[in-house]
Each structure stands twice: as C-alpha cells, then as structure tokens.
C-alpha cells in the first residue's frame, strides 16, 4: 500500500511536462500513473494530496550556501537549523554547503567540524563542497580522500588575500590534483590583490560608503580572474565551475571556453538577475552616512543594469552558457553585523540571504517569459543534481528517485519581506517588496511533508548528509 499519492498535478521535469499521479512508498517515488488509474487499480494510499491545477517539481537543490559561516569577524546569521527550515519553506529540499579549511588547519579537521555543525540540525538533506583555504602539500594529499567521503567538489578563492586566497601556482597544483581525482574545481573568480588596492585607494579618498564595495570590485576584476581560471583549467584539463557570476564580460569568457568544448561551467545567483547597482546601491548610498546599501554588499558585487549585466545573466541562462542558479546564501543582520562596516565598506561582511526565495524568484522568470517551465526545473534542481553527482536520487521526479517533491501553485502569490514570508534569521530582506506570481504550497522531503499550505511540519534532524558521486555533467 503506497504511503502517498499526489493526484491530478502536472509533473515538470527538465525533459518536459506530463499529467501524472505520483506514487510514493517510504522515502521513494515508486511510480508515475496516468491520472485516475490509481483508483481503477484500487491503490489505497495512506495519504492523498490533490494537486489539481498545480505543478509537481523535484525539490530545489541549492548548491551554494554558507550556513553559520565565519566571515569578516562574525558568523552568517542562519544556522544549519534556521537556514534549512527557511529553505524548506521555499521549496528547497537539498543544500550543498561549504566545509572550510582555514589557513594553518587540516582539511580533514575542517570537514569534520562542518559535519559536527550540520548533523542532527538540518530540516532538509545536505552535502558539502570543501573549501581549500590553504593549498599546500598536506591539503593536496587530503584531497585524495574527499571523494570517498562523498565530497566530490572543492572551492578555491582568487580573492580575499590573507584569508582564503590561492595564487596561480597553488591553483595550478590543486587543479592537477583535481583532474587526477575527478573532482570538480569551483572558483571564486575575482582578482583579490588588485581589488584590495582599489579598495584601499577609495577608502583613502574618504569613499567609504557601501556603494564603493562594488566600485572596487569592478567587472574587469571578475573577467580577468575568470579568464585566468579558464586557462589554468585548460592547461591542466580540470573541469571548472565558476561560482556566483555577475559580470557580462566574465560570462563571455565562459561562453568562449564552452564554444571550444571545454568542461567550463558558470553559476549565477538571483541577486545578479534582479538586483542592481543603480536600484539597490544607487546615488543615495554614495552619500556619506547612508548605510542602507550595506544590505546588498556581497561578492561578486551587484552590477549595473544600464551596462547590461543583468540582461546578460538571463541570456546566459537561456543559452546554457550559465547552467545553474544557486543563492550563495550568506546572510548577515544589519544590526551588529553589517554595521561592523559603518565607517568603512571594507569591514561590511559580504553576503545576501536568499535560500528561501530562489525557487520563487526563478519561477517569476517563467511568468515573465524569460525561461520555460522545464528550464526552471533544470536550473533549480536537475542540473545541480547532475553537476554535483546526485542525479537519479535527486533532481528528477521518476521511479527510484527520492520523494523530494514540491507542489507549486502557479495561480498562488508570494509577497516577500522580512515580516511577510521570510523565515531566514535576518533582520531585513534584500528582497523586500518583491511580489511573485506563484507559491510553494507543499514541500516534501524523502516522503515526509515539511511544509503544508502555510503550516510547518518539518523537524530538525530530518535532513541527512548526502554522499555525492562524481559530476554527471561532463562532456
């Protein structure tokens, strides 16, 4: 006897849409039936969800989050508990967070620490990428056991000198290792040393408002680093995934590499599709004392809409020069956190919180005619699963997959704001006032209903660690 049948919905996979009833036993999807055949076959499920007029989509996979990340003298304000609960509210059933090896630490210890932070605290399933904050002989050796631990991707930073920064020689050595091991190299591609000089010069001129964060992190810094990362990946034959892309010119570099059939991939984030330097950080935050702009200080930075960066991100999603939309969820409250940079933008902790809104914000792209329904699912679930070695279990509604399913109402409505729908542990919303023409009605994780039409039924500790395989996206 099935535990659950979701009837009368339209199932949307990356491959297309079909009217089907979805049958769930335990944690798994066991069948897709033509509508009505469950009754004819006299299947008597323990529970029925009527999804007439609704979409059934595979649970969202946010492959870039930073729950409780130590950064800029503070910690990201969502813990694994609060952040994964908020994710469930927004239709995300899996996150891939970043375990951190800091300078002077062992990679194994960093991974163990992050397991300790997440275990027993997550509402949804979780996995880890490994940040290699110091490339040396020990960390290169430690990379050899990552795949056995289910951690098949690692991240380096071309930014943040003195914190996570890796120079070209270190990047080259790590990429050689990753190529041999089949690991995916993820890159924060911004020229950190040059950015730091520009930031110092701006501050010396008294230009310390949040707006100048984006001026120091000019698009040339992103284009240059992206190109350099691509060339090092080409030389070493290592697959490369550039995270949180926001500059038109940097995406052109990825497109150029992909046209040469390279295994080079690009991710953008909702903030680079919808939020801009003009609208969020415009003239008002250039004024001394207007600290409002700190809400949108993140890296890479918000860019100019007038210069076409936002449009280029949408175009990249259409042409598949960009394959994924993750959030880079790294929330900080204004009070006591962003405020650390009240007198100097360089001290504002970098990050925006969006883990709750990604599926909705991308659905608005469907409503606005920018992407199709299957592409929405591909960007938010299927490609993250394939890119990071989870496809089949996650990222698709088909027999044998985990029953991670979202019932999405295309006729519903979601108003985003700190006092409205927001469950993230933040005292503001970077998305205040956004209105979405759709709604997450029900979120199901491995057969368990976490969110049911405005009611939260999830539990801390339901979420399990996902051991990932190697990328299933390479050519």
Return residues touching ligand DUC (CB under 6 A): 66, 71, 188, 298-299, 328, 330, 350-351
Residue 298 binding result from ligand DUC, Zn ion, none, given CB thresholds of 5 to 8 Å by partner type: ligand DUC
Count of chain residues binding Zn ion (CB under 5 A): 2
HEC profile for 347-390?
HCCCCECCCCCHHHHHHHHHHCCCCCHHHHHHHHHHHHHHHCCC
Residue ranges of alpha helices (H) inside 131-186 are: 137-142, 168-181
328 vs 404, beta carbon nearer Zn ion: 328
Using the contact rule CB under 5 A, the part of the chain among 12-20, 141-149, 180-188, 446-454 near Zn ion is 180-188
Element (H, E) at 20: strand 16-25
> How far is it, in rounded angstroms, from Cα 64 to Cα 42?
43
CA separation (Å) from 113 to 10, 84, 306? 42, 18, 43
Choose which of 81, 222, 328, 441 interacts with Zn ion (CB under 5 A). Answer: 328
> How far is it, in rounded angstroms, from Cα 467 to Cα 441?
29
Residue 38 binding result from ligand DUC, Zn ion, none, given CB thresholds of 5 to 8 Å by partner type: none
CA separation (Å) from 202 to 206, 314, 351, 473? 7, 31, 21, 42
153 vs 350, beta carbon nearer ligand DUC: 350
Cβ atoms of residues 446 and 125 within 8 Å? yes
CB of 299 to Zn ion, least distance (A): 6
Q: What is the CA radius of gyration of the chain?
A: 22
Choose which of 129, 177, 188, 462 interacts with Zn ion (CB under 5 A). Answer: 188
CB of 308 to ligand DUC, least distance (A): 22
296 vs 434, beta carbon nearer ligand DUC: 296
In sequence order, what are the residues at sequence separation of 6 or more whose Cβ sits closer than 8 angstroms to the Cβ of residue 302? 214, 246, 271, 272, 275, 276, 277, 280, 281, 296
155 vs 446, beta carbon nearer ligand DUC: 155
Q: Indicate whether 338 belongs to the interface with Zn ion (CB under 5 A).
A: no
Residue 71 binding result from ligand DUC, Zn ion, none, given CB thresholds of 5 to 8 Å by partner type: ligand DUC
- Closest residue to ligand DUC in the complex (CB): 298
Q: Indicate whether 222 belongs to the interface with Zn ion (CB under 5 A).
A: no
CB of 328 to Zn ion, least distance (A): 4
Q: Indicate whether 223 belongs to the interface with Zn ion (CB under 5 A).
A: no
CB of 75 to Zn ion, least distance (A): 14
**Going by DSSP bridges, is the β-strand pair 125-132/92-101 parallel, antiparallel, or unpaired?**
parallel
Using the contact rule CB under 5 A, the part of the chain among 102-110, 187-195, 245-253, 379-387 near Zn ion is 187-195
Closest CA to 67 of 54, 58, 80: 80
CB of 403 to ligand DUC, least distance (A): 32
- Closest residue to Zn ion in the complex (CB): 188
Cβ atoms of residues 152 and 184 within 8 Å? yes
Using the contact rule CB under 5 A, the part of the chain among 106-114, 184-192, 284-292, 416-424 near Zn ion is 184-192
CB of 269 to Zn ion, least distance (A): 9
CB of 414 to ligand DUC, least distance (A): 24
Q: Where are the beta strands (DSSP E) in 123-217?
A: 125-132, 153-157, 184-188
Q: For residue 302, what are its two tokens?
A: 């918000």
Residues in the chain: 475
Which residues sit at the interface with Zn ion, rule CB under 5 A? 188, 328
């Amino acid at each position: 006897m099935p535990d659950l049948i979701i009837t009368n919905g339209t199932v949307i996979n990356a491959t297309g849409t079909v009217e089907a009833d979805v049958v769930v036993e335990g944690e798994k999807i066991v069948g897709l039936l033509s509508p009505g055949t469950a009754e004819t076959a006299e299947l008597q499920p323990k529970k029925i969800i009527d999804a007439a007029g609704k979409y059934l989509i595979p649970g969202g996979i946010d492959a870039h989050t930073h729950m409780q990340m130590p950064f800029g003298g503070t910690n990201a304000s969502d813990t694994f508990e609060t952040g994964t609960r908020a994710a469930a509210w927004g239709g995300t059933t899996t996150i891939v967070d970043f375990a951190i090896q800091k300078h002077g630490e062992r990679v194994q210890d960093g991974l163990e620490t992050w397991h300790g932070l997440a275990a027993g605290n997550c509402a949804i399933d979780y996995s880890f990428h490994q940040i290699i904050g110091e490339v040396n002989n020990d960390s290169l050796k430690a990379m050899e056991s990552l795949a056995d631990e289910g951690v098949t991707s690692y991240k380096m930073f071309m930014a943040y000198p003195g914190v996570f920064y890796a120079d070209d020689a270190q990047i080259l050595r790590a990429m050689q290792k990753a190529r041999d091991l089949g690991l995916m190299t993820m890159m924060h591609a911004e020229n950190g040393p040059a950015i730091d000089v520009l930031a110092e010069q701006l501050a010396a001129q008294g230009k310390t408002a949040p707006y100048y964060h984006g001026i120091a992190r000019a698009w040339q810094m992103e284009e240059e680093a992206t190109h350099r990362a691509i060339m090092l990946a080409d030389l070493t034959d290592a697959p490369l995934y550039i995270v949180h892309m926001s500059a038109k010119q940097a995406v052109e570099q990825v497109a150029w590499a992909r046209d040469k059939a390279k295994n080079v991939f690009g991710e953008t984030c909702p903030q680079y599709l919808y939020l801009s330097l003009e609208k969020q950080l415009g003239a008002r935050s250039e004024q001394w004392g207007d600290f409002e702009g700190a809400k949108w200080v993140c890296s890479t930075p918000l860019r100019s809409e007038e210069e076409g960066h936002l449009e280029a991100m949408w175009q990249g999603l259409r042409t598949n020069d960009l394959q994924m939309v993750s959030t880079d969820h790294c929330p900080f409250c204004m009070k006591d956190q962003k405020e650390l940079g009240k007198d100097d933008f360089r001290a504002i902790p970098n990050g925006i919180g969006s883990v709750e809104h990604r599926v909705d914000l991308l659905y608005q792209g469907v409503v606005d005619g920018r992407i199709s329904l299957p592409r929405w699912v591909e960007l938010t679930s299927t490609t993250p699963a394939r890119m990071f070695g989870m496809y089949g279990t996650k990222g698709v509604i088909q027999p044998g997959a985990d029953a991670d399913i979202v019932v999405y109402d295309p006729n519903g409505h979601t108003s985003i704001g700190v006092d409205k729908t927001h469950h993230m542990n933040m005292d503001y919303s970077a998305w205040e006032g956004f209105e979405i023409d759709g709604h997450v009605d029900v979120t199901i994780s491995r057969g368990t209903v976490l969110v049911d039409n405005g009611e939260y039924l999830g539990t801390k500790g339901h979420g399990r660690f996902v051991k990932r395989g190697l990328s299933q996206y390479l050519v």
